[in-house]
Amino acid sequence: MKLKFFGTGTSQGIPVIGCDCEVCTSQNSKDRRFRSSAIITTETGKKILIDCGPDFRMQMLENHEDHIDAVLITHEHNDHVIGLDDMRPLIFKNQKPISIYCMKRVGREIVSRFPYAFADVKYPGAPSFDLHEISEPFKLFDAEVIPVEVAHFNTSIYGFKFKKLAYITDASSISETEKEKLKALDYLILNCIRKVEPHPAHFILPQILELNEELKPKHLYLTHISHHLGLHNETERELPDNVHLAFDGLELEF
């Protein structure tokens, strides 16, 4: 299986509109970050998208992807769902709805934001989705998907584990029970918004380094990165040997 990072930035992306800091003006392509999203390619070639934010259209085009077979949604914030309307060309091509897997609460929010996609009588050109509520591990095509429940401030959201890789974004804490799912992984992917200043809804670097010591993954990659984390190359040199900044387009095979 493979995971490709479609985007590794926060809800504002990098560069941030109107910002002239050294990260936002960097000429290094690794410092340019779409909103966080990833795509899993299964052993049989099925494409599973994790989150569908406002950059989905350009992410598909820049990565030369031409189809999505299913979507996993971590939570309902706009930077993780608002690109769903841009799936219309894929739906029209396949002539069938795309399946979305998420928490019940998240499904209700998707229906609320895209009511025309769930209308009994749709206008021509409307997208069409099949919603599936998830709470336990389940089989999706030839992949086992294990939801990992984490806290995003005071909201419960999902990360997802496949084999010995786990993808978690927008977390601020993880319970001891859920941490058991994350021990001794080959790849652990966690959000890290900045270096020092605490954030109520996201991990910062000292918390990530503590989790690295506790969970002991072979490789830990940071995503959902803001411009406050610093330049990619400089920050990368400051990290432990097994900890790395993810970047848009990076692909992991597992």
Over the stretch 124-165, which tens digit does the pLDDT of each residue have?
899 999 999 999 999 999 999 999 999 999 999 999 999 999
**154-155-158 Cα angle (round to 5):** 140
Token pair 């900890």 is found at 243
**Nearest-10 Cα torsion for 164, 252, 249, 131:** -30
pLDDT-derived band of residue 222, with 50, 70 and 90 as boundaries? very high
The pLDDT score that the predictor gives to residue 173 is: 98
Give the pair of three-digit tokens for residue 126: 């409307």
Beta strands (DSSP E) in 128-173 are 129-133, 138-140, 143-152, 155-162, 165-167
The pLDDT score that the predictor gives to residue 251 is: 98
Token pair 């509520």 is found at 133
Mean pLDDT of 249-254: 98
What's the fold here for domain 2-253? Metallo-beta-lactamase; Chain A (3.60.15)
pLDDT-derived band of residue 177, with 50, 70 and 90 as boundaries? very high
Percent of the chain with pLDDT over 90: 99
Beta strands (DSSP E) in the chain are 2-7, 37-41, 47-50, 70-72, 98-102, 129-133, 138-140, 143-152, 155-162, 165-167, 187-191, 219-223, 243-245, 251-253
pLDDT-derived band of residue 73, with 50, 70 and 90 as boundaries? very high
Mean pLDDT of 35-54: 98
Residue-wise pLDDT tens digits, 92-108: 999 999 999 999 999 99
Residue 203 burial (CB count, 10 A): 27
Query: For the chain, what is the mean pLDDT?
Result: 98
Percent of the chain with pLDDT over 70: 100
Q: DSSP code of 121?
A: S
The pLDDT score that the predictor gives to residue 206 is: 98
Cα 100 to Cα 148: distance, rounded to the nearest angstrom:
17
Extents of the domains making up the chain: 2-253
